[in-house]
Amino acid sequence: MVTRMAPRVSKLTFARNASSIGIGQQRPTLSWRYDQSDKTTNDWTQTAFELSFERDGKTSKRTINSENNVDVPWPEQEPPLRSREIVKVGVRAQGKDLNWTEWYYKTVEAGLLDPKDWSAKVVAPKVGGPPNLAKRPFYVAKTFKLGSASGPQRVYATALGVYELSINGKRVGDHVMAPGWQSYNHRLHYQTYEIPEGVLVSGENTIEALVGEGWYSGRLTWLENCRNIWGSEIGVQVQVEVGGKPVVVTDTDWQWRYGPLLASELYDGEVYDATIGYSDWQPTKTISLPAETALIAPEAPPIRRTEEVVPKALSTSPSGKKIIDFGQNLVGWVKIRQIPKQSRPNECIVLRFAEVLTKDGEMGIRPLRSAKVTDRIYLGDKAVHDWEPTFTTHGFRYCEVTGPPALLEKYQENLVAVVVHSDMERIGDFECSHELVNQLHRNVVWGLRGNFVGLPTDCPQRDERLGWTGDLQAFAPTAAFLYETNGFLANWLHDLSAEQLKQYDGVVPLVVPNTLDTFTGTGPPAQAVWGDVCVITPKDLHLAYGSTKILEEMWESMTSWFNKGIKRGANGLWENPRNGFQLSDWLDPRAPPDDPGNAMTDQFLVADAYLVGIANTIAEVAAILEKKDAREKYQQAHTKLRKAFQDEYLTPTGRLSSDTQTAYCLAFQFNLLDAQHIDGAAERLIRLARKEKFRIGTGFAGTPGILHALTQAGHLEVAYRMLQEKGCPSWLYPVSMGATTVWERWDSLLPSGEINPGEMTSFNHYALGAVANFLHTTVAGLKPLEPGYRRIAIQPRPGGSLTSASAHTTTPFGRAAVDWKLNDGKLSVDFEIPPNTTAVVNLGGKEEHVGSGIHRREVAWTREGEWPPEPYTTQFAQVQPENTLAL
Ligand code: BGC
């Protein structure tokens, strides 16, 4: 029986905010999803919705005839949110069969919307320590009296540095390293916390904050003693309110003191001394926020502890070190449940971290470069329970433990790894019948978790951990499928555009926040692929989440980059001076360990291919934003640049001047070929893949698109063959070497088992994991045809030796999923289309339009292409043994 009963409305959200408390907009847009898990809602589309607003004791309702459930404007007649206002918002929707859904309610609460709402100031120790050393964390506190006040109890807080808060000895909130890392000269997040019931008492209360240097003034980058990038004094700003009125705020009535923490540094780790008590309270002073800095209620979720991982094994290295293996390269720290009291003076526990072991079984710490990544705990005369560091994270799988033997006696109970990252909602996953491919996908997910910490970083372990723009540009579509990254990435893009437009005259910094020119004094160099993030990523977010807001917000950034930031030559392409340099196809497999940019593909061909691509994207964005003149302007620019690219790099028969996988990949990806070029280019690309015996030949620029390009070139079987390759370099090579995250280099660990000698060798870089997008969209066959998956393509393309695959993601409309199996020459596909969307289903070459619901189809299946495809060898060459390995 087919019903058209209404689905359930689920998850009402306000703008891109992860939380509904402390919203920073007066008129946040509203979005809701649908859940059809307990009902069949075949072919359900929304025709109208009703909103209710319960505020100031009154309820107003409005019905709107609209199919839209994503980014619905706050109704015009509804007054804007006031600072601190709490409104109960309800939504229900009507389908075309005129049935209504149940009401769904969510309470939204505004943050402090006006700078005048703050009476708190940033407090800091009156006398600071030496500015060029790591700053010792300190406490600031105040005891205050409270009458019998009633109403909501809130804390608003931020820091120049990082902080943790407690009231009457109880921790407030579960955030880690708040307020996170922003471009502090422009934007600073503040947090809104609900004070749990019973924490504040009538009478005397004490509020205390622990403050550390964090990113604001801690050591960053590999440059020598690069500290205090944004300021040399750290402090915290706290405002406690009851019933909408401040009851205590940071000012010079607060006092400060030191505690047992001697240091807590991002790269170097924490030093905790249990023998040291607290110093005497001392006077504070107030310091100012940077003049141009806006206090922002974050749309991005906070950093939190998200999982605990128990040790898998304990071993003794050849040199006698005790090493715990957590079985997973992860980011966070190790928590010790029981630290015994000291048995002799100066007794100490040292935890040292590494991602890999060297070939001879010692901690592989060379790739950490100058980062010490070590926690040190001096034992005191009392046992310590549940110790964990406060303002640092480490990227590690292995932990070397030195200390009293009791610590390791029951190590699986006493030590645990705590995983820490920005607490985004997990929305997507993938699985298939090929175990190594599954492990590759798990590695991609762990790479994302380890590097989405406050903002998207390149790596989580060495003296870097910076917001490299090119890495994110490559990985954003994959990330957006797996986690709800909308607020997280929009937030970072806002930092990016603030720096680009206010500081660098249109040039997008290589890393955001930009930490790299502080000491050299020069602005960032304009670099394609990296800087192009300001065009490509907003468009990717629009496609994944369906909101045009990010395009509006980034329009100026895109056009300034294109018109001012990019240095052009006479033909309009990138200026290519003698000794000109582009990072371009960074770290392709032929780049030598000590020269990562020395790639096979001409750097300027790559840069120019991206330039043509972004011209087209800007024209598309202009069309979406209904900017008619701009659309024409950028379309014309695109046509000219495309022609200039062809003149410069392409032969009439489709050969490119760099005869490489990346060059052809980009030609397909950015539509640089005319009809007469396509066969020639496709033939060349396939020849190159076969000639490389299906090893990968791409770096950061070509990797995201290479399997898509092979598929577009009409050779799905070659794409699968490359995906399934295990020899070095390939995606499955690291997996077959035991990797649990995606590596920075194709051979971060060499086939010999040695660590790559390059000084830049991380085992947790997400960029090359961009291949997961191919798994989601082509192998499983689930991709958006219209922004936000309003129209979905269901087109699994089985191939290789896979016999089944599945993927799902929670779209802005609800869950979309595909699950296919091959059996006896038949392809059976189960798929789920969320309410209020439609799908174009393409199976066995037949297209069908399908509405929402849970569906099943079975068709006869014919393999696309020959399996396995033959490598290209001359009669003189011998087939390499690894090419005959089972696929
Ligand atoms: C980072 C990268 C980055 C690159 C560009 C490296 O040190 O780890 O991932 O994109 O530099 O120069």
Predicted confidence (pLDDT) per residue in 147-186, tens digit: 877 899 999 999 999 999 999 999 999 999 999 999 999 9
List 233, 270, 299, 744, catalytic entry? 744
Residue closest via CA to ligand 1's atom 4 equals 468
Clarify whether 464 is annotated catalytic: yes
Residue with the two structure tokens 């496709």: 682
Q: Which atom of ligand 1 is nearest to the CA of 767?
A: 9
Phi-psi domain of 881 (left: phi exceeds 0; alpha: psi -120 through 50; beta: other): alpha
Per the prediction, the chain carries an average pLDDT of: 95
Query: Where does the pLDDT of residue 519 fall: very low under 50, low under 70, confident under 90, or very high at 90 and above?
Result: low
Return the pLDDT at 132.
84
Q: Which atom of ligand 1 is nearest to the CA of 597?
A: 12
List 464, 499, 717, 725, catalytic entry? 464
760 lines ligand 1 (CB under 6 A): yes
Return the pLDDT at 578.
87
692 lines ligand 1 (CB under 6 A): no
Cis peptide before 298 (omega within 30 of 0): no
Return the pLDDT at 887.
77
Return the pLDDT at 520.
60
For residue range 85-140, what is the model confidence (pLDDT) as tens digits?
999 999 999 999 999 999 999 999 999 999 999 999 999 999 877 778 999 999 99
| Separation of alpha carbons 500 and 470, rounded Å | 15
In DSSP terms, which residues pair with 351 in a beta bridge? 375, 401
Q: Ligand 1 centroid vs 493 CA: distance in angstroms?
A: 18
Query: Where does the pLDDT of residue 1 fall: very low under 50, low under 70, confident under 90, or very high at 90 and above?
Result: very low
Return the pLDDT at 883.
53
What residue spans of 411-548 are helical by DSSP H? 411-414, 435-451, 469-482, 486-502, 533-545
Return the pLDDT at 878.
64
For residue range 825-843, what is the model confidence (pLDDT) as tens digits?
999 999 999 999 999 999 9
H/E stretch holding 622 reads helix 603-624
Q: Ligand 1 centroid vs 389 CA: distance in angstroms?
A: 28
Length of the chain, please? 887
Return the pLDDT at 882.
54
Residue closest via CA to ligand 1's atom 8 equals 458
Q: Which atom of ligand 1 is nearest to the CA of 530?
A: 10
pTM, two decimals, is 0.97
Ligand 1 site-directed mutation target among 451, 458, 473, 756, most atoms within 8 Å of CB: 458
In DSSP terms, which residues pair with 35 in a beta bridge? 8
| Separation of alpha carbons 834 and 853, rounded Å | 6
User: Residue 145 CB: number of other CB atoms within 10 A?
Assistant: 10
| Separation of alpha carbons 503 and 509, rounded Å | 10
586 lines ligand 1 (CB under 6 A): yes
53 lines ligand 1 (CB under 6 A): no
Return the pLDDT at 881.
55
459 lines ligand 1 (CB under 6 A): yes
| Separation of alpha carbons 8 and 814, rounded Å | 10
Return the pLDDT at 846.
94
Task: End-to-end CA distance of the chain: give it in Å, rounded.
Answer: 44
Residue closest via CA to ligand 1's atom 3 equals 468
Rounded mean pLDDT, 1-19: 83
Contact 464, 765 (CB under 8 A): no
Ligand 1 site-directed mutation target among 586, 587, 700, most atoms within 8 Å of CB: 586
Q: Ligand 1 centroid vs 594 CA: distance in angstroms?
A: 13
Residue closest via CA to ligand 1's atom 11 equals 468
* 210, 327, 611, 711, 776 from 249: Cα distances, Å: 15, 46, 51, 61, 50
| Separation of alpha carbons 442 and 107, rounded Å | 36
Rounded mean pLDDT, 603-619: 98
Phi-psi domain of 296 (left: phi exceeds 0; alpha: psi -120 through 50; beta: other): beta
763 lines ligand 1 (CB under 6 A): no
In DSSP terms, which residues pair with 793 in a beta bridge? 783, 840
Q: Ligand 1 centroid vs 468 CA: distance in angstroms?
A: 6
Rounded mean pLDDT, 138-145: 98
499 lines ligand 1 (CB under 6 A): no
Return the pLDDT at 39.
72
Return the pLDDT at 131.
76
Phi-psi domain of 340 (left: phi exceeds 0; alpha: psi -120 through 50; beta: other): beta
Q: Which atom of ligand 1 is nearest to the CA of 471?
A: 10
464 lines ligand 1 (CB under 6 A): yes
Residue with the two structure tokens 């309800």: 90
Q: In 3-state terms, what secondary structure has residue 628?
A: helix
Rounded mean pLDDT, 615-642: 98
Clarify whether 692 is annotated catalytic: no
For residue range 368-405, what is the model confidence (pLDDT) as tens digits?
999 999 999 999 999 999 999 999 999 999 999 999 99
Q: Ligand 1 centroid vs 758 CA: distance in angstroms?
A: 13
Percentage of residues in the chain with pLDDT exceeding 70? Answer: 98
| Separation of alpha carbons 749 and 743, rounded Å | 9
Give the gyration radius of the chain's Cα atoms. Answer: 28
Q: Ligand 1 centroid vs 139 CA: distance in angstroms?
A: 36
Tokens of 305: 């502890």
Name the E strands within 584-672: none
Q: Ligand 1 centroid vs 510 CA: distance in angstroms?
A: 9
Contact 339, 312 (CB under 8 A): no
585 lines ligand 1 (CB under 6 A): no
Rounded mean pLDDT, 644-652: 98
pLDDT for residue 461 is more than 90 = yes
458 lines ligand 1 (CB under 6 A): yes
Cα atoms found within 13 Å of the Cα of residue 22, Cβ hemisphere only = 22
Q: Which long-range contacts (CB under 8 A, 24 or more apart) does 341-346 make?
A: 341/379, 341/380, 341/381, 341/382, 341/383, 342/274, 342/275, 342/378, 342/379, 342/380, 342/381, 343/379, 343/404, 346/378
pLDDT for residue 669 is more than 70 = yes
424 lines ligand 1 (CB under 6 A): no
Q: Which atom of ligand 1 is nearest to the CA of 760?
A: 7
Identify which of 533, 560, 549 has the alpha carbon closest to the alpha carbon of residue 479. 533
Ligand 1 site-directed mutation target among 451, 468, 598, most atoms within 8 Å of CB: 468
Percentage of residues in the chain with pLDDT exceeding 90? Answer: 92
463 lines ligand 1 (CB under 6 A): no
For residue range 748-766, what is the model confidence (pLDDT) as tens digits?
999 999 999 999 999 999 9
Return the pLDDT at 2.
46
470 lines ligand 1 (CB under 6 A): yes
Contact 486, 553 (CB under 8 A): no
Residue closest via CA to ligand 1's atom 5 equals 583
Q: Ligand 1 centroid vs 221 CA: distance in angstroms?
A: 12
Cis peptide before 80 (omega within 30 of 0): no
Return the pLDDT at 517.
79
Contact 316, 322 (CB under 8 A): yes
Residue closest via CA to ligand 1's atom 2 equals 458
Contact 719, 799 (CB under 8 A): yes
What residue spans of 727-838 are helical by DSSP H? 732-736, 772-774
